Structure 1
Amino acid sequence: MKQAAIGHQLFYDTILSGNRNTACAHCHHPDFGTSDGLSLGIGEGGVGLGPDRTPGDGDSRIRKRVPRNSPGLWNLGAREIDVMFHDGRLSRSDLYGNGFNSPAEEYLPQGLNSVLAAQALFPLTAQFEMAGNTGENEIIGAVQDRIDRGWPILAKRVRTDPRYGPAFVEAFDTVDAPIDVSIVEIGNALAAFMALEWRSTDSPFDRFLAGDGGALSPGQRAGMDLFYGKAACATCHSGPLLSDQKFHALGLPPFGPGRTRRFDPYARDVGRMAETDRIEDAYRFRTPMLRNVALTAPYGHNGAFATLDGIIRHHLDAEASLASWTPDMAKLTPVAWLAGGDFVILQDRLEMDRQSLARDLAPQALSEEEIAHLVDFMHALTGEMATRTTFGIPEWFRP
């Protein structure tokens, strides 16, 4: 609990960002289901929270939207999870001798106690999420030299802060004095907090599985039967986490800057292929878990659909959904200096043709009533404690 208490404070503190202006909670806020309510987020340089977050102005304004949708954080502390990020670029592995295959490769430090702890370190190194723009601070300068070189600077910030140094000594057996605090303890503290704060296993669906036959309404029960039967949702959304932790191509409408590779000539996102370099992984993204999914809109790796009804209909007929999708359906903060590139990929015939070749969804016919039942079942996955968590939002972070 002591480690989680430190992680709680750090999660809402801007001390971990290059310019000391962005916290983890700006993109993962409980008021928006531990996401941010946007299709593509406004990271470093932004002002405010959620859909009301603005892109800043002057020299500190944002240079780019965050390329992918901010995922919810529910149940990320589960032991069954072995892969993180939409493209799986972080996973458990012995490849580099530190327990993980990650963008930091052998430079990821030893001692991180979970894949969630390792994941917590990477937004700190991302220019448009927390690190800041070139020339603005020492963190981004160090990261651009090598990805791991910003972490010791952040660790020094934290351990020399009187709020944190003594707290780490008390909470960690490996820390005898504040000078011993490294990015490893910081990552482990953040993971301890997230695993405790956003554990969700008390939904009506969970009560039904435990034997409470009345936990689901008739519509929710019908939706569950469709989910595990005719609609075949459980083909991918399987197991206790409602995810197979694998990668699938859904053919979502592409927009935004994309998480491009260094040699990509334009704004596109090839998904899992960016990690594996295998053509068969092109445009595939990790299956999301579904606990509290009704709280975490918009949906998809780029937040293309604002409603559960919309993303379900896309699963049923991706071609028809893509044909009817319009840019106003994306929940994007208006940014005048980025607007010209927001939807440029939709006009690229060759890229759209490439994406059309990667589809893992076969069309299915469901009635309007059946679609409504599936939506009802998604609401049955919302936990009772989702809005009454252990630590809550610090008073000093509230607007």
Structure 2
Amino acid sequence: MQRYREYLLASAAARHRLWLFNPQPPDWQQPYLTGATQVDVLDRDAVLAQARELAANRPVRGVLSWDETLVVNTAHVAAALGLPGATVDGIEACRDKHRTRRLLTAAGLPQPRYGWADDAEAAVTLAEHIGFPVVVKPRGMGASIGVALALDAPQARAAFQIADEASRIGAVAYHGGALVEEYLTGPEISMDAAVVDGEYVPLFLARKQVGMHPYFEELGHVVDPADPLREDPDLLRILRAAHQVIGLRYGITHTELKLTDCGPVIVEINGRLGGDLIPLLGSLATGIDPGAAVVDVALARRPQVDATRHRVVGIRFGYPPADCRVDAVQVPAADEQAGILHAAVLVEPGTELRLPPGGYISRHSYVICAGATAGECDDRLAAAAAAVRMRGQALTGTSAG
């Protein structure tokens, strides 16, 4: 995860001294740490025991994580040590997508019609009641893993199987079953924000590009500091109300929404910063430091959210055209005139990349570009992505690609 996370750890460490809980001894993280504890971070009892031992020997001011699988344990540590935090109930209301739907629907906030299915036939019955097309998804995964569109009963059965199987690679508490939801049409956006003593503080808004129908793989994002939606009163009203409903007092959230004909509708609320390097795009576009913001919120402080930069920044991920074993990847060099801020290879030679449903987030590279306008940024992203070269061998006997 170094390529995806080092920028956050570096900025967090510049804000406050850090002590890492990690299943392996620190490696690339070492320059940013005061110390580290080796522990199975998915074992809540072990994490709590080590957290209490650390707090008995040195002052602990806050606890944070930007990993989807760890946000619940992070909330338990905050509660056990009396630190500022999202509360366990608040973070569970983010982590469990079925619970999120129930709470927001009961509060009268715009939501798709939905239901819960324990097996494939129940998923078909729900889909027929809601009306095709429907989206079928696991309730405790992120990054659109296991999410599929179904246009008819056979596809609903297949989509349930995909979601159910995907759920079993995540936390045990969310194993099995699937949500069946009305398909929402319209562009998709995300908002990263801080919540401090119940106040919802927007950081940056991104517009998302998805693909690989009938799946929802995230291909890219664009952050525009001048996007009018960032200050849109209807959008902010819905976001503030939703965070009050789920009971989040302190934390960082990444909320995904669809812009439908009936207005913004929340797809999900994640109790962490956005993935896919969206916070890095936000920093490059606005100057707002996401790693520092996470630390500030963990210390119950309101982060600095005034923009010091004003440019459009986007990312485009490179995917293979089919399942393959990678031989080599080449990316263009940074080029200020072409607007290429950064480009990186994400895989080593020999890596197998499988497209949904055989695999997810199977990226070989990314390019990050800037422009004076959203149109210019999109053009530069397209040109930079076209300059990426990947050589590989097709995989045979696979279920995807």
Q: TM-score, normalised by structure 1?
A: 0.25
Q: Return the structure number with greater helix share.
A: 1
The answer to which structure, 1 or 2, has the higher relative contact order (CA under 8 A, 6+ apart) is 1
